[in-house]
Structure formats: C-alpha cells, structure tokens
Amino acid sequence: MNSTEFSRLMQQYQGLVYTVCFQLVRDPDTAQDLAQETFLAAWIHLERCPPGCEKQWLARIAANKAKDHLKSAYQRRVNLPGDEGMPELPAPGAPPGPPGPEDEVLSSLGYSDLAALVHELREPYLKVSELFFLQERTVEEIALALRRPAKTVRTQLYRARHILQEQIQRKEHGNHGTL
Amino acid sequence: MELFDQISGCLTDEGLQALADGQLDELSRLEAAEHLAFCDACLDRYTALLAGPVIVQPPQDLQKPVWQRIRSQMFRVLTNRYATAAAAVAIAFCLWGSGLFQGLVPTPDAQLTPALQLQQTEQTQQTLEHRLAFNEAARSASRSLSSLFDSVSDGISKAVTSPRLTNNPKE
C-alpha cells in the first residue's frame, strides 16, 4: 500500500477509529490523540493488515491504544500493579516469593471458603480465578485454555486478587459488626 | 446489566450497546477494551454496530497530523541510522590513529624477497603478482586513511583551539 492508498484508507476510516477511541476513553482530546497513534501504528505495521479486513484491523489497533491509555490511567489512580513492572505471579507449586498482605489473607482461607469467594466473581475474572486459585493452573496454561493473551490473564488475576481481598475484608468487617 | 457473558466470557449484546451509548464506567470500559483487543468474534460484533449515525467524525481531520507524525518518525529512524554509521566511522578513525591496524598490512620486503621470487613457478608468479597488487592497494588505502585521519585530527584540533565563532559581535 503506497502513501496515496494509505491516505484514502485514513479518509475512509478516521471516523470509525475516532469513534472506537472516543467510546472507550470518553474524552475528545484523548480520543483524537489515540486515533492519530492508531494510524501511525497502522502505517508502521501495514504489512500485517489482512487484505479486506482493514476495518477490523484498525478497530483492533484503536482498542489496543485505548486499552493502554485506560490501563495506565486506572493503575495511576488505583495504584494496582499492571503488566509493566508487575512482579510475575508464581506458578502453583513453585517456591513463592515473599508473601504480601494479600497473599497472607488468601492463603489463610480454606479451600471451600476460597472457592465460595471465587464463584462470586464476575467475568472476566471468574474463569481465570477458578483455574488459577482453585485448579492451580499456570498463567500460560490458563491463557491457552481460555484463548486470552498471557499478559491479559496476569492483569485479570491481579485485579481478581484485589477484588477477593476486598470481599474478605468486607466479610471480616461484617462479622466484627455483628459481634 | 451484565457486560460479560458468564458462560462464554464474551461481551454481551447489551454490554456492547452500553459501550456505544457511553453508559459504562471506566473499569468496565477498560475490561471491554482488553477483551476487544484479542477477541475476533466480539470485535466483529462491535464494528458491525459502528455504522451510519453512530460514527463520530474527529474534531480535526487526522490526515495532516498523522502524516506529520509519520514524517517525524521516519526522520528519527534515518537520523538514528546515520548517527550509528557516523559513530562507527569515528571509532574506526580512532582505532586507525592508535596504530592498531599497522601490523595487518605487510611491507613489500617481508613479502617478496628476491630469493623467494626465484623459487616461484609461473603459476606462483601470477599469484604473487596478485598478492603484490593487493598489498599495493591495501598500502594505498592505508596511506589515504592515515592522511584523512591526520587531516580530520588537524581540523578538530584547529576547531578546538581557534576562537569560538558566535553571532554576538561583542564577543
């Protein structure tokens, strides 16, 4: 694809790309910037575009750009580890690293209590948590089984762990309140 | 409203519609973006929703800023390559100037003594002529590089020692 054809592609799909970015980030300036980044990435990786699938391909790049933006904004606000710089989750059975407070809380639960909490989770955290916390599968095995990227599985597991910890704390406070 | 189907793990129709209508909070939009980034089926369903009046045009046309960014990206890549090549040449000059390569190009005396020439057959003689030509070319290149290195070194020393040129006439 030459520069004229790429200009035509941009003309045709700039509305779509901007709409995807805007619907995901809900800010016009950020969406404008992410739409530009989408076309820049598309130009750099033009040879990866499946012929006839330009619309889906551009929408996927736009969703990825929006995801990266939302993830960094969310991590800054919530202060929850994300993909980058995030410590690797230990594989079940592997020697664990120094336990954090969340690990202590989770490991103090019996299997049935933990299973009950996990089954209360909603998607996209339910299946990854069942496989990781209850069936002790590795991140790579879960990624393969659920057809999700390993990075996404790790991120979902970290958020799931955070949600589980909040549930435990809520229940503990509830118990103390009733005493 | 369920954003994800608990069985398939995919985005629900109402979830996709809520995304298009701007009814999702930030975490839900992040979860939807993560899913759309890898799930082909949901991406197809989502892009099918994006047609007609749903499409919002960007406040400013993207063509001009995108081409500007592409050009500056290409310029950065090119300048990085030239900077690498220039650094390699500078290192080669430094190594040459330090005399590291002196032993690599043999002198004619060491290669072609008269006694050695007498012992050569015609074929060997031809080979020797080739080697002689190669040595001569190598020495010539060596001399050229040495003189180039000297002139560059002189130029740099003059530039360093000469008064600095500025636009300020008072200096």
Domain assignment of residue A90, yes or no? no
Which residues of chain A lie closer than 8 angstroms to B14, CB-CB? none
List the structure tokens of A16: 């779509």
Write out chain B in H/E/C secondary structure. Answer: CCCECCCCCCECHHHHHHHHCCCCCHHHHHHHHHHHCCCHHHHHHHHHHCCHHHCCCCCCCCHHHHHHHHHHHHHHHHHHHHHHHHHHHHHHHHHHHCCCCHHHCCCHHHHCCHHHHHCCCHHHHHHHHHHHHHHHHHHHHHHHHHHHHHHHHHHHHHHHHCCCCCCCCCC
B4, B20, B50 ranked by CB distance to A124: nearest = B4
Q: Is A133 on the interface with B (CB under 8 A)?
A: no
Domain assignment of residue B44, yes or no? yes
Closest among A28, A10, A13, A24 to A66, alpha carbons compared: A24
Domain assignment of residue B19, yes or no? yes
Which residues of chain A lie closer than 8 angstroms to B70, CB-CB? 40, 43
Whether A161 shows a pLDDT value over 50: the answer reads yes
- Burial call A44-75: b when 16+ CB within 10 Å, e when fewer: eeeeebeeeebbbbbbbbbbbbbbbbbbeebb
Cα–Cα dist B117/B125, whole Å: 8
B101 pLDDT band (50/70/90 cuts)? low
Q: Is B168 left (phi over 0), alpha (psi -120 to 50) or beta?
A: beta
Domain assignment of residue B4, yes or no? no
B147 pLDDT band (50/70/90 cuts)? confident
Least confident of B28-32, B48-52, B108-112, B118-122: B108-112
CB contact (8 A) between residue B56 and residue A18: yes
Tell me what pLDDT residue A12 has: 93
Q: Of A162-176, B10-24, B77-91, B125-139, which one has max mean pLDDT?
A: B10-24
* Domain span including residue A9: 3-78
Whether A143 shows a pLDDT value over 90: the answer reads yes
Which residues of chain B lie closer than 8 angstroms to A155, CB-CB? 34
Quick one: DSSP state of residue A83?
A: S
Please indicate, yes or no, whether residues B113 and B164 belong to a single structural domain of this protein: yes
Tell me what pLDDT residue A84 has: 46
Query: What is the pLDDT averaged over residues B129-146?
Result: 79
Q: What is the pLDDT of residues A85-135, one digit of tens each?
A: 444 455 444 444 444 555 666 777 778 888 999 999 999 999 999 999 999
Least confident of B88-92, B133-137, B155-159: B155-159
Contact A62, A38 (CB under 8 A): yes
ipTM for the predicted complex comes to 0.82
Tell me what pLDDT residue A30 has: 96
Reported pTM: 0.67
Q: Is B49 on the interface with A (CB under 8 A)?
A: no
Q: Is A11 on the interface with B (CB under 8 A)?
A: yes
Higher pLDDT, A122 or A174: A122
Q: Is A121 on the interface with B (CB under 8 A)?
A: no
Please tell me the total count of domains within chain A.
2
Residue keyed to tokens 């990854």:
A128
Chain A nearest-CA distance from B69, in A, is: 7
Tell me what pLDDT residue B79 has: 85
Please indicate, yes or no, whether residues B44 and B65 belong to a single structural domain of this protein: no
* Domain span including residue B20: 13-54
Q: What is the CATH number of the domain that holds A113?
A: 1.10.10
Tell me what pLDDT residue A87 has: 46
CB contact (8 A) between residue B57 and residue A126: no
Share of chain B above pLDDT 70, in %: 71
Nearest residue in chain B measured CA to CA from A19:
B56
Please tell me the total count of domains within chain B.
3
Query: What is the pLDDT averaged over residues B100-123?
Result: 62
Cα–Cα dist A172/B57, whole Å: 50
